[in-house]
Amino acid sequence: MCGITGYVGTGKASRYVFEGLKKLEYRGYDSCGIAAIDDIIRVKKDTGMIDEIEERIDLSELPGCIAIGHTRWATHGGVTVENAHPHLDCSGTIAVVHNGIISNYKELRKELEKKHRFTSDTDTEVLVHLIEENYKQNLEEAVINTLKRIKGTYALLVISSEEPDRIIVARKESPLLIGLGDGGNFVGSDVSAFLAHSRKAIPLDDDEYAVITGNSVEVKSIITGKKLDKDILEIELTEKAAMKEGYPYFMLKEIHEQPSTITSAQNIYPEEIRTVAEAMQKAEKIYLTGAGTSLHACEVAEYWFSKIAGKLVVAVDSSELENRAVVDNKTLVIGVTQSGETYDTLSAMRFAKKMGAEIGVIVNVIGSTATRFAEYVIMQSSGMEVSVAATKTYTSQLSVLLRLAIELAKLEGKDVKVIEKEFSSIPDKMRQVLSIEDEIKGKADSFFNVSNYLFIGKGINTPTAEEAALKLKEITYLHAEGMSAGLLKHGTISLIDENMSTIAFLPSDSENSAKMLSNIQEVSARDGRVLIISQGKVDEDEFISLPDTSEVLSPFIFSPVFQLLAYYVAVKLGRNVDKPRALAKSVTVE
């Protein structure tokens, strides 16, 4: 899970690549580096965040009009300068950056070590020495012959001072897009790497490679060597999406964007929703699958499909789908993935496809891998999400999934007017919640002063509790668990003491809220401190009061509250909110 980018043209390449790396930093940020060719290859690389490295070694200052760069999230080998990319061959004439995992690197290294000098612990370094080994007089040929011996996954950029006008790029199960610019061409792990200079992209598919020069791009099949005609994607995203616009962190900006991102999801063409709802109606078995926050969106939707459409839809952790699900040619598997690049979710979708299932995907990133092999694609239209912690993309996923449940219910002849009307009021209700931000910040200051937290909910807010716990954990590094309120008494309640506080999500008057109140009493009776996030009136000391909705739509109203709580606790603790330690935005490894 890393970001790679390159440029070849008439401009100062290291500057373009540095800009691209800053945009890709969300994909990994423990070290980075750039290689550029002037007359020879020069490399600068170091550990730390990109801006720190720039300050220390002027990373963006390398001569030449061709360069490649890499921002790393360590997989093979620790966080050291030696393990940072780019990697060079023994003669210093070939440089490589790589995102992915070479699974047969041990055998290859053993073989190559007889002749080549290795300087890092990475799997990637075998690539550059193998290219060196295969290099006769043609870099393209050397790369292709190398790839034929490689097992694993890769997005790969290769340059050589012997052929200083071209970047050879290749892809297998790791994302790579080529950006077409004026006076030069770009390549990146996603479009954000070159969005400031190019709105035209060619996404590479698996087993494809390309030869990119300043004024030409030639895409070919790695398997047949034949030239391929590729569609050019026109990108509508604006660069503004990647700016903080006065907010101290992207996360806060993205939390505040939710009323408008939900509206965008509400405006997705009805035909797109209907096509998938029809496929759901036909399918005998339906699975929703995703990871982390996206899995929680699937779990909320599981309730909607059952309560609104009367249809059994099962939400499965994508890393477990192959172990758990019964998949055949009467099954529909819908992947839910913001990035469209999460390894576990792509693997689950690939497995399902192999078993004959139909594949759908709800996805945010244009041109991402998931969009390239699903039969049904719904773009959730949330705009770029930069913060590692997913916020606006979660409520957009919820919006798309709710629309699917409503559409399916309509196909089944059910009356959904009431819920449709109420759903249209959600962006305004969300604005009301965001208007009490100061009160929420106050609770983050006064309530969050222990090191362990339990989040509890019931029914459709069980996944709300799980998502709230995930948000707190990932950006504050405090321990939290989320579960159904009913489960608490079956073991976890024994943890309640002065170091464990409980946060309860209490929807408007409903059977579930009455039951929740007695679960809350069970915690209080054991001297547990409780914060109630409530849509109704409560007779407790610690509470946050929210606008009313029906219980079925309450996950929308609770979301900005737990997101802001996590955000302000993280700020109070001095965490790097947008880039929490050990995490990256897309987890492209197993």
Interaction of residue 388 with ligand AGP, rule CB under 6 A: yes
Q: Which of 392, 458, 471, 585 is flagged as catalytic?
A: 585
x/- mask, ligand AGP, residues 557-586, rule CB under 6 A, reads -----------------------------x
What residue number has its CB nearest to ligand AGP?
A: 292
Q: Which residues of 447-457 are buried (b: 16+ CB within 10 A; e: fewer)?
A: bbeeeebbbbb
Nearer to ligand AGP, 131 or 469 (CB): 469
Q: How far is the CB of 382 from ligand AGP (least distance, A)?
A: 11
Q: Which of 2, 32, 65, 298 is flagged as catalytic?
A: 2
Nearer to ligand AGP, 418 or 582 (CB): 582
Give the C-alpha separation, 130 to 124, whole Å: 10
32 is catalytic: no
174, 345, 502, 519: residue in contact with ligand AGP (rule CB under 6 A): 345
Which residues have C-beta within 8 Å of that of residue 234, sequence separation ≥ 6?
199, 200
Instruction: Please state whether 340 falls in left (phi above 0), alpha (psi between -120 and 50) or beta.
Output: left
Residue 451, CA distances (Å) to 314, 422, 481 in order: 34, 38, 12
Beta strands at 530-534 and 479-484: parallel, antiparallel or unpaired: unpaired
* Residues 454-483 contacting ligand AGP, CB under 6 A: 474
Q: Which stretch binds ligand AGP (CB under 6 A): 13-21, 333-341, 499-507, 514-522?
A: 333-341
Task: Give the three-class secondary structure for 116.
Answer: coil
Quickly count: other Cβ atoms within 10 Å of residue 235's Cβ: 18
Q: Which stretch binds ligand AGP (CB under 6 A): 28-36, 104-112, 383-391, 446-454?
A: 383-391
Nearer to ligand AGP, 469 or 531 (CB): 469
Nearer to ligand AGP, 132 or 474 (CB): 474
* Residues 243-302 contacting ligand AGP, CB under 6 A: 290-294
DSSP one-letter code for 82: T
Q: How far is the CB of 587 from ligand AGP (least distance, A)?
A: 5
Alpha-carbon radius of gyration of the chain: 25
Interaction of residue 342 with ligand AGP, rule CB under 6 A: yes
Nearer to ligand AGP, 53 or 363 (CB): 363
Interaction of residue 398 with ligand AGP, rule CB under 6 A: no
What is 225-275 written as a DSSP string?
A: --B---PPEEP---GGGGS-TT-SSHHHHHHHTHHHHHHHHHTS-HHHHHH
- Unique residue bearing structure tokens 């490894």: 589
- The alpha carbon torsion through 113, 114, 115, 120 (nearest 10 deg) reads 10
65 is catalytic: no
Interaction of residue 189 with ligand AGP, rule CB under 6 A: no
93, 122, 185, 339: residue in contact with ligand AGP (rule CB under 6 A): 339
Residues annotated as part of the active site: 2, 585
Q: Residues interacting with ligand AGP, by CB under 6 A?
A: 290-294, 337-339, 342, 345, 388-390, 474, 586-587
